Amino acid sequence: MTVRSYRQVAAGVVVALAVPVFFRLCTLLIEHGIMSIDEPIDWTPSTIIALSEIVLGPLGVVIAGRGAGVRGVIAWIVLLVVTIPILFLVWAFCVLMLSAALGAPF
């Protein structure tokens, strides 16, 4: 496997980690008092953002895999089996940090 396009690999990583980075950025802004959540939140947009990780995560992995030159069914299965759980753990950590910053840890 040789990397065909470093830009495509970087773009895939950016797409896959867009939602967790957004959640972590919101957490940091809330913790430092730059952003405040004083009014009731309409959870529809945040639910859409959270559910978008179901699409953006694997999509980013596929984009990065194509850029990395992954070939063969077994290689793709291994790539997805290894990266999707790691991506989920990163996403879950960022969501828990955000909910803790909002004052509702669980």
CA-atom Rg of the chain in angstroms = 16
pLDDT digits (tens, 9 = 90+) for 27-62: 898 888 887 776 656 655 667 777 788 899 999 999
pLDDT digits (tens, 9 = 90+) for 56-92: 999 999 999 999 999 999 999 999 999 999 999 998 8
* 76 three-state secondary structure: helix
Name the DSSP class of 44: H
What phi and psi, each to the nearest 5 degrees, are found at residue 28?
Answer: -65, -40
List all residues 6 or more positions away from 9 whose beta carbon is below 8 Å from its beta carbon. Answer: 3, 64, 67, 68
Which among 106, 20, 1, 12 is positioned nearest to 60, based on CA atoms?
A: 12
For the record, the structure tokens of 74 come out as 């077994």
pTM score above 0.85: no
Position 41 scores a pLDDT of: 60
